[in-house]
Chain A
Amino acid sequence: MEITSPAFKQNSAAALADGQLQKALGNVRAGFIDKRRKAIDALPEFEQLRDNARDIKDHALAHLDLYLEAYEAKVLASGGKVHWAESAEDARRIVIDICKSVNARTVTKGKSMITEEIGLNDFLSENGVRPVETDLGEYIIQLRNEHPSHIIAPAVHLNKEQVEADFRRVHTHLPDTRSLEEPEALLDEARTVLREEYFRADVGITGANFLVAETGSSIIVTNEGNGDMTQILPRIHVVMASIEKIVPTLEDAAQILRVLARSATGQEMSVYTTLSTGPRRAGDPDGPEEYHVVLLDNGRSAMLGTEFQDMLRCIRCGACMNHCPVYHAVGGHAYGWVYPGPMGAVLTPSLIGVDKGGQLPNASTFCGRCESVCPMHIPLPKMMRHWREREFERGLNPATQRYGLKLWAFVARRPALYRLATSLTVRALALFGGRRHRFRALPLAGGWTKYRDFPAPEARTFMQLAKEKGLAAKGRAP
């Protein structure tokens, strides 16, 4: 699937004009925000847990190399295998090799943003292996060949009529006459169709919310149980995880789990929180015969030790986008790739380059709501500003913007010139603003006046008036 992040503006325009999408986005505002609020109100220790979660992750990142080594040792000791993938290409190759080792035809997948990031599904299909997404939202968008539009609720941009249309189009073996009007019927159908796939799969691929160094375990959280079916039925269980998913101990995972589900969906725990360690043991009647962990770098190590390191604390809860006024306006697809909303605005330029992803950190009002709800205290607006600084240094922002700002800065650095320029401008504007005290149109302000009137100033600047009233002071105090 292609990356369209550079076309964020065009994507947004389409999104704003899409009535169906706008209606669906209403669900995000009302649903996720209220549910999270209720869950937090029911847990007095939430703020302390946030602080502790941040500290745990910071400690893990500061010692990442050592925890990765400790983790690997435990995985090996439990009979699992660990593969280290520097790049997306390396990761894809490792996975296809594992699939080929058992002549895999069908692969089931639990929800994994990493696999979206590396374009795994397309690659598997091209190489003769059929990937089947099992998370209902991911399954739906797989049918539509779309990116997810939200990292927790991939199909949040769709209504049930659209889902029904897709099911009818693809599940051609089922009778036309069946009713799919209610969401329950759609879920039942997905359950039946996917149940067959779970048993058909030779390999099951999941992501990981956490990798626990103490025990060599991977942890996933789901509400559906799809990640579990994916890993216990096939011969091989493959875990795809980026290196920053490491936490030191089971207790550390427990601490962060407490803020994860609450921040994501307002649940206290996801229905299924599963800790997987190695392949089945001797005497186990079920479980995979092989357990492989693919550790992915793909740009994470390049974020360590930089002003973007804090972004590695992200636990992919989605709270930031749930609370973002820009995301509410345009939805996830406008961001053009895998990671939308505020976390996508910070992460995408790191992973695909600021030249391709640079629009995203610019499309923010810096309202700060994302940072205020982030369970890991990630300073998202600050990092978006850092991206703007990188772009400024490279001269990547539009010329008109640069010149406009340069002009403003030039004048603002010279108080006397500033006084003169502002009083002249204001006098002119006030004259033209007339009796209604506003402009319907104003040269150079087309972006503003397309949708809003522009308030006219009063006839003189404050500094002019203050000077006249003897309130202004030239120099320093006595």
Chain B
Amino acid sequence: MSGREAILRRVRGAMKVHAGDTGRAEAVQARLANAPKGVIPARGQLARSERVDLFCKMAAKLSASVERVSASEAVPASVASYLRERNLPAALRMGADPRLVAMPWNQQGALEVKSGASDGNDEVGLSHASGAVAETGTLVMTSGGDNPTTINFLPEHHIVVVDAADIEGDLEAALERLRARFGKGEMPRTVNLISGPSRSGDIEQKIILGAHGPRALHLIVVG
């Protein structure tokens, strides 16, 4: 008997059930199909502009820096300022996200824009969020060529563009968006829910930023 058979048999034996019990199977199918939501905190249940304000406020509490711009055209200039202000080299890594690619990078002539996954030698990475959650100031990032996952973790500074229209009130709503985009029961390789820059409290319980992931997280909220 394989490990699989042995374990399933022991589980069924312990619960005194049979594999063929249709009542149980229906209950499981129903829950998987309907995915009931549960308790959604009131905090994020706001009208759009208040939701965006809440998102910015919660993200800032987590030590992310937050900037708001009115249109995506303003992003390259904003990124260039960020780099200048921190004496960072005028270079960044980003993926093939069409929303990023469409931005007027040529207006920032001095800025070197490298494309693709990060190999660990980038000081600054730029991504576009798939979505965000106002309740906790959380970004939703999905893997793939548009926004390679390595860009979320390897650079020292991570700059993320968030569309105000993509900011949901709660995590459940953000998950529903994923379902709508990828299909029921389907997921990309990695979904990162990111809340602030990396940190550790493992030495004497003192919280220090910049553990293994980025030391700094900068959000540019568009719209």
Contacts and interface: CB of A to CB of B under 8 A. Distances in A.
B152 interface: yes
Contacts of B208: 183-184, 187
Nearest to A47: B39
Interface string A238-277: 0000010000111110110110000001011111111111
A96 to B, nearest CB: 15
B165 interface: no
B8 A52 contact: no
B71 interface: no
Interface stretch (B82-90, B103-111, B191-199): B191-199
Contacts of B117: 285-286
B203 interface: yes
A277 B187 contact: yes
A286 B25 contact: no
| A contact residues, range | 35 or more
B187 A217 contact: yes
| B contact residues, range | 35 or more
Interface in B133-191: 135-136, 138, 143-145, 148-150, 152-154, 171-172, 175, 178-179, 185-191
B4 A84 contact: yes
Interface string A209-244: 000011111000001111011011100000000010
Given A215-B186, A276-B189, A281-B144, A136 B25 contact: no
Interface stretch (B14-22, B46-54, B72-80): B14-22
A411 interface: no
B158 to A, nearest CB: 10
Contacts of A129: none
A52 B204 contact: no
B39 A48 contact: yes
A278 interface: yes
A64 B10 CA distance: 11
Nearest to A256: B38
Interface in A401-424: none
Contacts of A269: 136, 138, 193, 195
Contacts of B14: 301-302, 304-306
B203 A275 contact: no
A177 to B, nearest CB: 21
Contacts of A163: 203
B125 to A, nearest CB: 12
A27 B204 contact: yes
Interface stretch (A151-159, A355-363, A385-393): A151-159
Contacts of B40: 45
B134 to A, nearest CB: 12
Interface of B: 2-4, 6-8, 10-12, 14-17, 19, 24-25, 27-28, 31-32, 35-43, 58, 62, 95, 116-118, 120, 135-136, 138, 143-145, 148-150, 152-154, 171-172, 175, 178-179, 185-206, 208, 210-214
